[in-house]
Every structure is written in C-alpha cells, then in structure tokens.
Structure 1
C-alpha cells in the first residue's frame, strides 16, 4: 500500500518540483504511532529554503486534494534532505563525487559491511571510496547493487 502511495505522489510532485527548478530527492509514506506521514524531500544546488518547501507544499497539497490517492488521514511534510542527505540513485553518487560519505552494504566487502570515506568516483555501476585505515588510505570498490544504504557523512576532521 505505501509503495503505491509513494509512486502516486512521485508522479504528482515531479512536475511541481521541475516547475520550481528543484530536485525530488525522495518520497516516503510512514506510520509513526497512530499517525501517517507523507514526507517529500526536495533539494537544489545551494540548498532549499523554507520558501521553496512552502511552495512545493502548497502546490502538492492542492494536487493531492484533487486526485485523492491516499485514503487515510496523514500529515504532509516537505523539507530538505538535510546535511546527511541519502544517496538513493546512481546520479546521486555522481553528483556527490568528492564528498565524505557513509555506505552500508548488503554483504561484506573485504570483511566489512560499513564504510566511511571520500567518494572518489562512480563508474561502471561501482562506488569507489577512499577510506582511511589508521594512517594509510585504501581504495574500496563497492558494486552499486550491493549498497543497502548510503548518505553524506558529516566530517569533523
């Protein structure tokens, strides 16, 4: 059910974000306690501000009222993906080359399933990370299909 809602919402919101020169990062429909939340994450170069989120929220709310794809009551939230933005699509890995990221894999690579490192490149459906192990750097190649989740990682170094 929630996948159908997410898909329907993506189709409704995509033209809205394109019209506003924004990028649709993610849509999620989740139940937290007794409440359902429809969360839409948008971004643009330089980041989104509250006005961007308000515009998307207003236009999307109107369209959702018209098309009514969600039967139950829910709260609509439109926001930035935040500083630790998820990397969901292949294009995200290309866009954020050079960034410090966290990657968790479905199965171990070199005996590990979690990696923090600098995203060197994304080529041939492979994430290439430079990870620091004590005082040396090592290149780790992670096939895209083995990535369980990934996000920008805040670095305090």
Structure 2
C-alpha cells in the first residue's frame, strides 16, 4: 500500500468486516519502534479519501487505522518468524481432535507449516487450517 510505505511504515494486515449498512475496514500498520497514534491518524487522513472513491468498495464504511498491539494478529506465516518461543493462540476453521482452538509456544514456521507446543506435545498446522492466530502477551 503506497500510502503506508511512503510514510516509512509497514502494512501489517487488513480486515474487511461487513456490518449491516456500513462495513468496517481495519488497517494495521507497524514500524520498527511501533506505530504511533499520530502515524495512524496520518495514514487514515491520507487513505480515507482514496478509499471513498474506490469503486471496488460497495457502500459506506468506517475506516480504522491502528497498531497491531501487544496481542497482535498475524496475517501471513512469515510474520510469525520473529515470535518463535512466544505463546500464540490459533483459532481453526475446522476442529482438530475435537477442538477449534490451540494455544501454545510457537516452535517452528516452515513455509505454510506452523508448529505449536501445547502441554509438551507438538501440534503441526497448515496455514490454511488457521482461521485466526494471535500473540498472547505475557504481562
């Protein structure tokens, strides 16, 4: 996304959530030292008008621009590489051994394969099995 990259920021992820008459477009940006509120506001001001004239977006929407935060959601497997050894929680599309949620230490990322260690047992997941995965921040 040129607006984000032009400001020296990284596009972390994008969510489009249809909510009745108005959709929600949520854009996550990041920077080496974390995105600031001012940077989020700047991206919103620059991106909002461009999105309003984009004919691919049906109807009205609200735009949110934010940092991924401490319990950041991951949008592609490559983003997980810097978080090996940390606790993550994955929500699955289909149940695995009767459960749709796995939580454990991220032990490996190899292409689309993500491995968590939950209670001492490794769980290998293909990225396509994962509906959502996010970091669990330890306070």
For the aligned pair, the TM-score class normalised by the smaller chain equals: 0.7 to 0.9
Give the Å deviation of 1:145: 2.2
Please state if 1:36 is matched with 2:19: no
Q: 2:117 aligns with which of 99, 112, 130?
A: 130
Match of 1:114 among 98, 101, 120: 101
| 1:146 paired to 2:133 | no
Return closer, same or farther for 1:32/1:129 CA change in 2, 3 Å cut-off: same
Structure 1 unpaired stretches of 5+: 1-13
Residues 4-23 of structure 1 mapped to structure 2, 5 A cutoff: 14-23=1-10
Match runs of 1:50-69 below 5 Å: 50-65=37-52, 67-69=53-55
Rg comparison, structure with higher value: 1
1:98 equivalent in alignment to 2:85? yes
Shift in CA distance, 73/104, structure 1 to aligned 2, threshold 3 Å:
closer
| More helix, by proportion | 1
Distance 2:131 2:25 in 1: 23
Q: Cα RMSD (Å) of the superposition?
A: 2.3
Off by >6 Å, runs of 4+ in structure 1: none
Decide which of 59, 62, 65 is 1:75's aligned counterpart: 62
1:55 deviation in Å?
1.5
- Cα distance in 1 for partners of 2:131, 2:22 equals 27
Deviation at 1:122, TM superposition (A): 0.1
Instruction: State which of 70, 74, 89 in structure 2 corresponds to 1:87.
Output: 74
State whether residues 21 and 59 of structure 2, in contact with CA within 8 Å, keep that contact through their aligned partners in structure 1: no
Distance 1:124 1:26 in 2: 19
TM-score by length of 1: 0.73
Shift of 1:106: 3.0
**Which is strand-richer, 1 or 2?**
2
Q: In 2 relative to 1, CA 77–145 (structure 1 residues): closer, same or farther, beyond 3 Å?
A: closer
